[in-house]
Chains A and B, each alone.
Chain A
């Protein structure tokens, strides 16, 4: 019995435990109150249903959460990811569509299912734009020694302006069908976006756990000075994480704009920075930096979207959902708080004592 208690405690202390419990709670609520929530059917040769929607919609957030995890692990934060999404989306739209400048274009050309630039180049340009934004943030934080919250605040504020600049202040609709593949396509029945997330996750995981980068990130987050004395370049680590975060946001922007068929400088990726930070926090990584878990953050993103879609099925309008999201986070935070941990510790200890007594 003693071994079981120790095992239970270890499970409880595993960073994935609470996020998975929260996710399970939401899913159980769905199973009870929303008939047919889990129904998955086949339509047009691909899987179809609420759960598929959840996966598809949460893909961009998962990507941003992955990038954000590393940034937060160094003790920083990146508030500009929403703006980077907008910039990346704008890049894509503009390269597809020849509507640059104030030239008057006939409606036929505007809505043509064609592109001015090959798809491959568009993707590369998107990624480059986002990565450059990440580099900018990285330089401000690592070389400029500016506080992350402040440094990324600047791009957050100015970035949407830049996105507007790229699209000349217009919301651009995209008509080029191959572009839709990222957000709307399916491979083997599952959404393309999920494959993209899996690839990026794998790439990130190899990068941080199969090299020393992950260890250095954690060290910098816990004690940057010790890291320096040990020969770790705090500057380069920080430069890397912000750049990588920009990269992830760029991919997210690609998927998002592909999903909604448009680039809207004001609304693309709105509030994404907040959701990404929440996903990371729900996943158990501390805002002060240090130990992190990419998987937990991904689960955190999943929780946010499962909750959102659940609310939609209950008929709650999107705007009112904001209040609900706030309550969700409160619940998660309560679960993580010292009070709850102590309470549960007492519970398991009491069980153990009772058992010893009866022996």
Chain B
């Protein structure tokens, strides 16, 4: 184990920087706004960014293979609209939730197959997927539908108290992200699938010649992203108790930003989900700080995230350029 730590430190520089910056930003924010020092504020990050965390985790694997999945936010919208519609017609959540997950997997598999077999750029295919998903969501319900199902309400309003931390709580859907994180950590480091993902991102040709199941893995990665999007959509529908085609606008970009800030290279082969976790937390922290400020309008968030992403990219470029020359 000891032997693995040193190279780990070397190869994960940007991620460690992200963690450091998260701590820094959070600290700075809590100094300026004393109300931020409450522990609940930290856990609110997990509540508010629940959906973003889930799709970012799925996105991480896709980006590591060197691909990209722009359809994730569309899938959230579609899931919310489809769930709302089915629940309104009286279907039980026990049917709806698994069905949505299956839909997500099918959707992702289709995208992955188009990329793998038609050899089209992931950017284009997933973009199409985004349009298609949102379009379908609007066809299901043009104006949006409320969700009145009691199980959903229960899931939305039940507080889960954090052990040892008194009154701090999260909601049930907020737990899904961290659990998924643990699952994907295991996948990334302890399964052939995960290692193949990294291999593909480094050199797809080599991975294929090494006999690794490249085609299958690439499709699975998109199927998994579709699964995550649907899962995030379910979480979203629970949180907002409604479904609408216009939900989560631009969230695919927030996901990509989070993953990149977390240390994953867009070119693939480098990065991991732990970094993504911190990328999402940084995103959420900025939103929190703006909320606490109260006077700055929300469109400053967009500028803020933009600037931050720029800084991180700069750090990444420097770090990897220097590494290349050494």
List residues of chain A with CB under 8 Å of any chain B CB: 77, 140, 144-147, 149-151, 153-158, 160-162, 164-165, 169, 265, 274, 277-278, 281, 287-288, 317, 319-327, 329-330, 333-334, 337-339
Complex Cα distance, B121 from A288, in Å, reads 9
- Are A323 and B317 in contact, with the CB atoms below 8 A? no
Complex Cα distance, B306 from A140, in Å, reads 13
Q: Which residues of B contact A337 (CB under 8 A)?
A: 118-120
Interchain residue pairs A-B with the least CB separation, the first 9: A323-B135, A158-B306, A322-B135, A326-B132, A319-B138, A161-B303, A326-B131, A157-B306, A161-B299
Q: A146-B314, A147-B267, A287-B123 are in contact. Are A317 and B138 (CB under 8 A)?
A: yes
Q: Which residues of B contact A77 (CB under 8 A)?
A: 123
Q: Does B129 contact A (CB under 8 A)?
A: yes
Complex Cα distance, B303 from A265, in Å, reads 13
Q: Which residue of A lies closest to B139 (CB)?
A: A320
Q: Which residues of B contact A288 (CB under 8 A)?
A: 121
Q: Which residue of B lies closest to A322 (CB)?
A: B135
Task: Apart from A154-B306, A157-B306, A288-B121, list 13 A-B contacts with CB within 8 A.
Answer: A140-B310, A145-B321, A146-B313, A146-B314, A150-B266, A158-B306, A160-B302, A169-B299, A319-B135, A323-B132, A326-B128, A326-B135, A337-B119
- Are A144 and B317 in contact, with the CB atoms below 8 A? yes
Q: Which residues of B contact A278 (CB under 8 A)?
A: 124, 127
Minimum CB–CB distance for B79 against chain A, Å: 15
Per the 8 Å Cβ criterion, residues 102-142 of B in contact with A are 114, 118-121, 123-125, 127-132, 134-136, 138-139, 142
Q: Which of B207-215, B229-237, B252-260 is near enough to bind chain A?
A: B252-260
Complex Cα distance, B310 from A155, in Å, reads 10
A-B pairs under 8 A by CB, number: 123
Q: Which residue of B lies closest to A325 (CB)?
A: B131
Q: Which residue of B lies closest to A319 (CB)?
A: B138
Complex Cα distance, B201 from A321, in Å, reads 35
- Are A160 and B135 in contact, with the CB atoms below 8 A? no
Q: Which residues of A contact B124 (CB under 8 A)?
A: 277-278, 281, 287, 329, 333
Q: Does B217 contact A (CB under 8 A)?
A: no
Q: Does B305 contact A (CB under 8 A)?
A: yes
Q: Does B205 contact A (CB under 8 A)?
A: no
Per the 8 Å Cβ criterion, residues 127-178 of B in contact with A are 127-132, 134-136, 138-139, 142
Tell me which of A147, A155, A265, A329 contacts B128 (CB under 8 A): A329
- Are B321 and A322 in contact, with the CB atoms below 8 A? no
Q: A158-B307, A161-B299 are in contact. Are A153 and B256 (CB under 8 A)?
A: yes
- Are A158 and B303 in contact, with the CB atoms below 8 A? yes
Q: Which residues of B contact A326 (CB under 8 A)?
A: 128-132, 135
Q: Which residue of B lies closest to A338 (CB)?
A: B119
Q: Which residues of B contact A150 (CB under 8 A)?
A: 260, 266, 309, 313
Minimum CB–CB distance for A312 against chain B, Å: 14
Complex Cα distance, B136 from A320, in Å, reads 7
Q: Does B243 contact A (CB under 8 A)?
A: no
Q: Which residues of B contact A145 (CB under 8 A)?
A: 317, 321
Q: Does B297 contact A (CB under 8 A)?
A: yes
Q: Which residue of B lies closest to A163 (CB)?
A: B299
- Are B135 and A321 in contact, with the CB atoms below 8 A? yes
Minimum CB–CB distance for A102 against chain B, Å: 14
Q: Which residues of B contact A151 (CB under 8 A)?
A: 313
Complex Cα distance, B82 from A40, in Å, reads 42
Q: Which residues of A contact B250 (CB under 8 A)?
A: 157
- Are A157 and B132 in contact, with the CB atoms below 8 A? no
Complex Cα distance, B266 from A153, in Å, reads 12
In the complex, which of the residues A77, A160, A320 has the most CB atoms of chain B within 10 Å of its own CB atom? A320
Q: Does B279 contact A (CB under 8 A)?
A: no
Q: Which residues of A contact B284 (CB under 8 A)?
A: none
- Are A161 and B135 in contact, with the CB atoms below 8 A? no
Minimum CB–CB distance for B135 against chain A, Å: 3
- Would you give 10 A-B contacts (Cβ < 8 Å), ordered by A? A158-B302, A162-B303, A265-B299, A277-B123, A278-B127, A281-B124, A287-B121, A319-B245, A322-B132, A326-B130
Q: Does B300 contact A (CB under 8 A)?
A: yes
Q: Which residue of B lies closest to A318 (CB)?
A: B138
Complex Cα distance, B313 from A155, in Å, reads 13
- Are B136 and A323 in contact, with the CB atoms below 8 A? yes
- Are A322 and B299 in contact, with the CB atoms below 8 A? no
Q: Which residues of A contact B139 (CB under 8 A)?
A: 320, 323
- Are A146 and B317 in contact, with the CB atoms below 8 A? yes
Complex Cα distance, B114 from A140, in Å, reads 32
